[in-house]
Structure 1
Amino acid sequence: MNKVYIIVLNWNGWQDTVECVESCQKLTYPNFRILIVDNGSSDGSEAILRNRFPDIEFIQTGANLGYAGGNNIGIRYALAHGADYIWLLNNDTTVTPDALTALVDVAEKNPQVGIGGSKIYFYNKPKTLWFAGGHIDFHSGETLHMGMGDLDTGQFDYRREVDYITGCSLLARRNLIETIGLMDEEYFLYFEETAWCVKASLAGYKVVFVPESVIYHKESGSTGARSPLFYYYMTRNRLYFLKNFGRKVKWLKRFYSDFRGIAQFIKNDPCWGQKTRAITQGYLDFFRGRMGQRK
């Protein structure tokens, strides 16, 4: 039976992590290990989680290394301890008992499947979709969560290849990681899993949406919903993604879209100043080659 390591990355969010881990403990898949990776939390998370889950493996990174950096540490550990599959799971999620079994079953039936992802509902709206597969516009860098905000009527209940799987719930097979390497830590936050999926596709692996695997997501636990920090990383990292993976990039369309967004902020958003500065700094840092964590 294949061994799966479930990596749950925590940063100042032990309450969510407790709920996530407790839901994972009810999984029906017979051979999994949970690994909590704490990204240098300052809210007492490490002591609380170690005390709450004394039998669960735990790594302290010592600093906030971002989504890619923290998860990469967990992935290295899992591979060194014999993992056949890695399941990256946001700490602000809860899982259904068969969620992992469904992902592994699909991967085992087709060795070309390198990455699989779940159907994801909003945590507080359990029949409303948050993610049913990802689409990328490689000309502009726009990404789309298919079905987001739609009431689930079964319209996405079929397995299919997609452009990307959200890092909220992403199963990766061992030989894929050994082939394409770990996630790019230059992103720090956002787009790193999207780039990883594109690299998987370019290496000949399939990236597959698995609707039988179901989880629930609280959304935006790390940066706040549409906060200035969100706009900074999304702006900068989208440009970085386009530089690395774009196809016939329509740069003027990209610039126009972002600055039209700024105009909308100025017109409608009381926090327009902060968000405008965030987008502007995202552009400046990209052109200066300043990646990683925002300084």
Structure 2
Amino acid sequence: MKKVSVITVNFNQALVTEALLESIFKTNTYPNIEIIVVHNGAKTNDLPQWQAKYPDIVFIRSEANLGFAGGNNLGIKAATGDYLFLVNNDTEFTAGLTETLVNTLDNNETIGIISPKIKYFQFPDTLQYVGFTPMNYYTCRNQCIGQFEKDNGQYDNLSQPTGFCHGAAMMLRRKAIEKAGLMTENFFLYYEEMDWNEHIKRAGYQAWVNTNALIYHKESVSVGQGSPLKEYFMNRNRILFIRRNAPWNQAIVFYVYFMLLVVPRNTISYIKQKKYNFIGMLFKAVWWNITQGKKSTKLGYPI
């Protein structure tokens, strides 16, 4: 039986993380798992209380906030599992989740990464994810299949390749990580999992989704529904993703599209919404990509 390492990253959300842990204990019946919680630069150190309350969990504390990629990479380095299940701390497990994903990986060696069906925790009858379409590199846009649809069983029993797995919940084969490498940490927040998907596929593996496995997601607990932080990194990393992954001819079209259409459109939208500080975030995101190399570790934003 393959060992599964469940990895999650906590950042100033002790109660949210504890809810995830309790959901694992309540629903999990897969016997060969380890749970790793990365305490990622949080202001308060919850580890002493957690270690007493959850003695069988591996806790790792980083004094600095390493972001989504850096925090998960810490957990990956400490993990001993054959499969690594990276889950957002704002998710909650359901019965059979781990077994279903493990069985799918066991039965198909070409799968390097797989996600379950994801539904909104606050709206448990509403889908968030049952797969992604491939990326359009001319616009750096793709579609999240099923998002906001009522779950009437229309996507039940799907186990198939997908454009991308979802960063909120993705199980990976250790061998795929060894070939593709860890997540790129200079994304810090957003697009890093899509970049990782691309590198895993280039390493010869497939990305899959299995809708017979289900997890619930409390979307945008960590940064809020429209914060300057989110606006900056979404724009900065959208450009960075293209710089790292798109063929040069498609990248050129994207740059023209972004500067002549996206920047003016977003600026007008920010003005209409009176989110004037977002304008600066947008131009700061563009400027970072003009002045920094693809491997730059400078975030361009105070963390």
User: Where does residue 286 of structure 2 map in the other structure?
Assistant: 283
Please say which of residues 137-146 and 61-70 is displaced more in the overlay.
Answer: 137-146
Mean CA deviation greater in 220-229 or 248-257: 248-257
Equivalent residue, structure 1, for 2:123: 125
1:152 maps to which residue? 151
Q: Which residue pairs with 1:202 in the alignment?
A: 202
Instruction: Establish whether residue 73 from structure 1 lines up as the match of residue 77 from structure 2.
Output: no
What is the letter of the counterpart of residue 60 of structure 1? R
Tell me the equivalent position of 1:101: 99
Residue 51 of structure 2 is aligned to residue 50 of structure 1:
yes
**Deviation of 1:287 (Å):** 1.2
> What do residues 157-197 of structure 1 show as CA deviations (whole Å, max 9, x unaligned)?
21221121111001000100110110000101111110110
Secondary structure class of the residue paired with 1:125 = coil
Indicate the residue corresponding to 1:219 in structure 2.
219
For residues 3-26 of structure 1, the C-alpha deviation after alignment (integer angstroms, 9 at most, x for no partner) is 000001000001010010111123
Residue 114 (structure 2) aligns with: 116
Q: CA RMSD in A?
A: 1.4
* Matched residue SS, 1:119: strand
Instruction: Determine the C-alpha separation between the residues in 1 that align with 2:63 and 2:12.
Output: 13
Question: TM-score, normalised to structure 1's length?
Answer: 0.94
CA pair 33-221 structure 1, distance change in 2 beyond 3 A: same
Quote the offset at 1:114 in angstroms. Answer: 0.2
* TM-aligned CA deviation for residue 228 of structure 1: 1.3
SS in 1 for 2:186: coil
Q: CA deviation at 1:236?
A: 0.5
Deviation for aligned residue 1:292: 4.8
Give 3-state SS (helix, strand or coil) of 1:51's partner: helix
SS in 1 for 2:152: coil
Distance 1:92 1:292, change over 3 A: farther
Contact conserved, 1:27 with 1:97, CA < 8 A, in 2?
A: yes
> Is the contact made by 1:183 and 1:192 (CA closer than 8 Å) also made in structure 2?
yes
Q: 1:55, CA displacement in angstroms?
A: 2.2
The match for 1:27 is 28
Q: 1:54 Cα shift? A: 2.4
State the match for 1:86 in structure 2. 84
The aligned residue for residue 137 of structure 1 is 136
C-alpha deviation, 1:291, in angstroms: 4.7
Taking structure 1 as reference, are residues 258 and 28 closer, same or farther at Cα in structure 2, changes over 3 Å only? farther
Aligned residues: 290
Cα contact 1:285–1:291 (8 A) shared by 2? no
1:118-140 deviation per Cα after TM superposition (whole angstroms, max 9, x unaligned): 11111110010111112322221
CA contact 1:8–1:91 (8 Å) conserved in 2? yes
In structure 2, list runs of 5 or more residues that go unmatched: none
Structure 2 distance, partners of 1:40, 1:221, is 17
Deviation at 1:227, TM superposition (A): 1.2
> Residues of 2 paired with 1:134 and 1:178: CA distance?
24
Instruction: Give 1:43 deviation, angstroms.
Output: 3.3
Alignment match, 1:260: 265
Q: Distance in 2 between matches of 1:120 and 1:228?
A: 26
Structure 1 alignment gaps of length 5 or more:
none
